[in-house]
Amino acid sequence: DALTLGYAGVYGSFLLFAKRAEKKYGVPARDILVEMGRRGMVGGQEDMIEDTAMTMARERGLMPLAA
C-alpha cells in the first residue's frame, strides 16, 4: 500500500476511501489512487475518490452508463 501511495503521489488518507470504492465499484484501489495522482488531487478531496471510481467503473463496463 505504501508503495502504491508513493508511486501515485497521493496522501495516505486516500487509501481507506479507495479501498471502500474498490469494494463498491469493482475498480482496484491501486488504479483509483494512480488516477487520483494523475488528476493532481490533494488531501481534503477524498469525496472525489468515489466519483473517480464510479467514472472508471463505467469506462470499464463494470456498471451501466448514467441515463
Segment 15-60, tens digit of pLDDT: 999 999 999 999 999 999 999 999 998 777 888 999 999 999 999 9
Map out the domains of the chain as residue ranges.
Answer: 2-59
Give residue 66's pLDDT band: very low, low, confident or very high (50, 70, 90): low
SS (HEC) of the chain: CHHHHHHHCCCCCHHHHHHHHHHHHCCCHHHHHHHHHHCCCCCCCCHHHHHHHHHHHHHCCCCCCCC
CATH domain 2-59 topology = Helicase, Ruva Protein; domain 3 (1.10.8)
